Amino acid sequence: MSLDAVLDPASVAVIGASDDPDKVGGRPLVHLARNGFAGRILPVNPTRTQVQGHVCFPDIASLPEVPEVALVIVPGESAVRAVEELAAAGTQVAVVIASGFSEVGPEGLLRERHMKAAAAAAGMRIIGPNSMGVCNFATGTVLTFTTAFIEVPPVDGPVAIVSQSGSMAVEPYMLLASEGIGIRQVHATGNDSDVSVGEMAVLAASDPSVELLLLYLESVKDVDSLAELGRVALERDLPVIALKAGRTPAGEAAAASHTGALAGEDRVVDAFLERHGIWRARDLGDLVRATALHLRPKRPKGNSVVIISNSGASCVQSADAAELWGLGVAPLAAETRAALDSVLPGFATSTNPVDLTAALIGNSRLFADVLPPLAADPAVHAIHLALPIAGQGYDVEAFAVDLAVVAEDIPVVVSCPMPERITAPFTAKGLPLFRTEVDAIAALGSYAGAWQRRLDARARGPMAVLVPRIGPTRMLDEAASMAFVATAGLPVVEHRLCRDVGEAVAAFHELGGARVVLKGCTAAASHKSELGIVRLELGSESEVADAYDQVMDALQKVDPAAPGVIVATMVRGRRELLLGARQDSVFGPVVVVGDGGTYVEAMPDVQLLLPPFTADEVRAALDALRIAPLLHGLRGESPMDLDSVARAAVRVGDLVADPDTGVVSVELNPLLVGDDGQGCRALDAVVHVADGDGPTSGGAA
């Protein structure tokens, strides 16, 4: 049995077919007819013998053949029975449009599980339930009830849209189709009970005629398929642009109320998509805006744009937008500037943005003159022509002809707010046209960004998906945690676990008799400084002894079973960092690296990494921190030992990625980093292990 059948079946049964073309049960027959479906159509409805000109069968058992694919429209229990019969008969894929399943509550969820089990037993795949349907306009396989394709009829083309939500399959379709962009596949997977949105996307991505894949993710469940999607897409350089709403707390709350699913933390979604070469759109507009650019056969060479305008104000707005959308404003080569100087009006500057000034009116040659040297400049990777004014006096036709030649090699966007009558030459030449400067630049930014992301992901190679380690865990106390991470090869401050005052004083001497720190050792508290169980800068036997007594007193109140106190060398360093790893409920282990100390929760400055990763990737993550300048040394300071931090982060990644270690989460905070060459050391550690693994309390490191 193969899911592939759903895109081009030899036969389709429509369970619950209606003769009324305006009904949910009637509309799929309209779509199949209109879109030229060449397979056999087998309507099922016990009350009719004919449906929209097709012979109609009373039930599945009466069908003259086993339908390869079935569209299940009948509701609730009838849908479950239909799926059972279809599975038993040997149908390959059932597209279940019927709703009233897991989306309506526990009773529906049971029904959905039952249906899924019946299909799975026979090897039949289910898309849905609560799916808007599956549509492949190339084969006329349009298995959906939506009116969208009647309101705006499809034009076959290179775009595929795959969504969990039906409305979010239709909405990008509407925005693209109304601009005349051809769309080949539109799928909405609904409740994802069997076939997930990711698996459907892999199917769409495997169609070589699909050149752009737009994805709407509601809640990520099937991480493996998304990773597979990344792999398949990278292999043939297919741009995959994903929109996942719920980036803000308000959006996340709305998503939780709507889908009821665990969402995975939004920043982890970012890290995951980035790692797999999938570009994340900021919003629906961003999802579709760069479509014409993504469909260019040529890829860009970089992310620097040259802006050409007849208005200084447009130049400034475009430059602002370029920075906000991640594009560079290309510095021009000396020869390019010389070429511009020879044609521009005396007062115009030959810098980028190139302001042709109002001199362009009545002298449309000006554009033809500046374009070739600009396009030839190796620093120019894209061109934005911003025409806030055009019309009478401007040879827009000539602009379009000249630009179209250049656009063969370099991505080009045009912005112009004038009526279609005036801008038509650009559209006629297939040049992406926008009404405002910022929209044109935003499209270029998403295009170049998605391309760069594919390059980076391809360079890093495919990545195995790790399974979240969910289940009972146990927190090791500080001594055990430190011993654990030290054994695992992570740098830890020298320390001793002491069970009486004599051991504490002895430890003070063993550690060199210099200043030490004394901390209550317990797994019952994570914020120790508030509890009075930490003493710093102890420099003598008596200070150590006094501190031991005070800390043990305070510790007894917090955790009567605490094993003792830790005496550790008081070390100096440059900055307290945080290095940790935890389990995302969906994406599995995530390593966190960033600024450390007491206030990390209130003022987070962290970057996420999905293991496995290299030291270079950690260095890049450190460079993305707010405190990056400080880490590299400011105002005459030497750089800090970031290589040691990178090595430690890789080790933490290995620890949580390897299920044999039993490690579920690690937090090293502070991880004190010193000058370059002096390494870093964890001054504190908290380790959670899967319950049953590891010691409770460790000894000396």
Contacting a copy of itself within 519-578 (CB under 8 A)? 527, 529-530
Nearer CB in complex with a copy of itself: 355/584? 355
Q: Which tokens go with 482?
A: 């430190």
Place of tokens 């939506």: 146
* Smallest separation, CB 367 to a copy of itself (Å): 15
* Smallest separation, CB 322 to a copy of itself (Å): 6
Say if CB 595 and CB 578 are below 8 A apart: yes
Torsion-angle region of residue 108: left (phi > 0), alpha (psi -120 to 50) or beta? alpha
CA distance 680 to 642: 8
Q: Which of residues 92-111 bind a copy of itself (CB under 8 A)?
A: 99, 103-105, 108
Place of tokens 């943005």: 353
Nearer CB in complex with a copy of itself: 586/655? 586
Nearer CB in complex with a copy of itself: 593/656? 593
Nearer CB in complex with a copy of itself: 216/399? 216
Task: Work out whether strand 433-434 and strand 412-415 pair parallel, antiparallel, or are unpaired.
Answer: parallel
Provide the 3-class DSSP secondary structure of residue 395.
coil
Contact flags string 325-364 toward a copy of itself, x per CB under 8 A: ----x----------------xx-x-x-x-x--x------
Q: Which of residues 244-283 bind a copy of itself (CB under 8 A)?
A: 245-251, 253-255, 257-259, 283
Provide the 3-class DSSP secondary structure of residue 340.
helix
Choose one: 159-167, 479-487, 500-508, 549-557; the region binding a copy of itself (CB under 8 A).
159-167
Q: Which of residues 121-150 bind a copy of itself (CB under 8 A)?
A: 146-148, 150
User: Which residue in the set 4, 323, 335, 623 belongs to the binding site for a copy of itself (CB under 8 A)?
Assistant: 323
β strands within 183-253, DSSP E = 183-188, 212-217, 240-244
Nearer CB in complex with a copy of itself: 136/317? 317
CA distance 339 to 356: 14
Nearer CB in complex with a copy of itself: 263/492? 263
Rg (CA), the chain: 32
- Burial status of residue 472 (CB atoms within 10 A of its CB: 0-12, 13-18, 19 or more): exposed
User: Which residue in the set 12, 170, 293, 671 belongs to the binding site for a copy of itself (CB under 8 A)?
Assistant: 170
Torsion from C-alpha of 402, 237, 200, 106, nearest 10 degrees = -100
Say if CB 213 and CB 239 are below 8 A apart: yes
Q: Residue 516 is which amino acid?
A: V
Q: Which of residues 4-23 bind a copy of itself (CB under 8 A)?
A: 22
Q: Which of residues 436-455 bind a copy of itself (CB under 8 A)?
A: 436-439
Q: Which of residues 175-214 bind a copy of itself (CB under 8 A)?
A: 175, 178
Choose one: 3-11, 412-420, 449-457, 665-673; the region binding a copy of itself (CB under 8 A).
412-420
Task: Work out whether strand 663-673 and strand 575-584 pair parallel, antiparallel, or are unpaired.
Answer: antiparallel
Provide the 3-class DSSP secondary structure of residue 271.
helix
Helix or strand (DSSP H, E) at 358: none
CA distance 693 to 143: 51
* Smallest separation, CB 548 to a copy of itself (Å): 23
* Smallest separation, CB 645 to a copy of itself (Å): 18
Handedness of CA 680, 681, 687, 692 (dihedral sign): positive
Q: Which residues contact 543 (CB under 8 A, 6 or more apart)?
A: none
Nearer CB in complex with a copy of itself: 104/488? 104
Say if CB 414 and CB 367 are below 8 A apart: no
- Burial status of residue 639 (CB atoms within 10 A of its CB: 0-12, 13-18, 19 or more): middle
Nearer CB in complex with a copy of itself: 56/322? 322
Q: Which tokens go with 371?
A: 């374009």
Torsion-angle region of residue 513: left (phi > 0), alpha (psi -120 to 50) or beta? left
C-alpha distance from residue 695 to each of 393, 477, 527, 651 (Å): 83, 10, 22, 20
Nearer CB in complex with a copy of itself: 84/112? 112
* Smallest separation, CB 156 to a copy of itself (Å): 19
Nearer CB in complex with a copy of itself: 367/548? 367
Q: Which tokens go with 138?
A: 């190339």
User: Which residue in the set 391, 430, 639, 679 belongs to the binding site for a copy of itself (CB under 8 A)?
Assistant: 391
User: Which residue in the set 212, 319, 640, 666 belongs to the binding site for a copy of itself (CB under 8 A)?
Assistant: 319
Nearer CB in complex with a copy of itself: 419/471? 419
User: Which residue in the set 33, 262, 398, 422 belongs to the binding site for a copy of itself (CB under 8 A)?
Assistant: 422
Backbone angles phi, psi at 211, to 5 degrees: -115, -5
Nearer CB in complex with a copy of itself: 170/223? 170
CA distance 243 to 217: 6
Choose one: 80-88, 204-212, 311-319, 376-384; the region binding a copy of itself (CB under 8 A).
311-319
Nearer CB in complex with a copy of itself: 365/435? 435
Cis peptide before 353 (omega within 30 of 0): yes
Residue 557: other Cβ atoms inside 10 A: 10
Nearer CB in complex with a copy of itself: 42/269? 269
Choose one: 60-68, 306-314, 551-559, 680-688; the region binding a copy of itself (CB under 8 A).
306-314
User: Which residue in the set 126, 205, 212, 321 belongs to the binding site for a copy of itself (CB under 8 A)?
Assistant: 321
β strands within 325-420, DSSP E = 328-329, 354-355, 382-386, 412-415
Contact between 166 and a copy of itself per CB under 8 A: yes
Choose one: 121-129, 314-322, 460-468, 608-616; the region binding a copy of itself (CB under 8 A).
314-322
CA distance 184 to 149: 12
Torsion-angle region of residue 36: left (phi > 0), alpha (psi -120 to 50) or beta? left
* Smallest separation, CB 680 to a copy of itself (Å): 20
Contact flags string 56-95 toward a copy of itself, x per CB under 8 A: ----------------------------------------
* Smallest separation, CB 640 to a copy of itself (Å): 13
Nearer CB in complex with a copy of itself: 558/627? 627
- Burial status of residue 476 (CB atoms within 10 A of its CB: 0-12, 13-18, 19 or more): buried
Contact flags string 635-654 toward a copy of itself, x per CB under 8 A: xx------------------
Nearer CB in complex with a copy of itself: 36/345? 345
User: If binding means CB under 8 A, how many residues of this protein chain bind a copy of itself?
Assistant: 94
* Smallest separation, CB 665 to a copy of itself (Å): 21
Contact flags string 598-637 toward a copy of itself, x per CB under 8 A: xx--xx----------------------xx-xx---xxx-
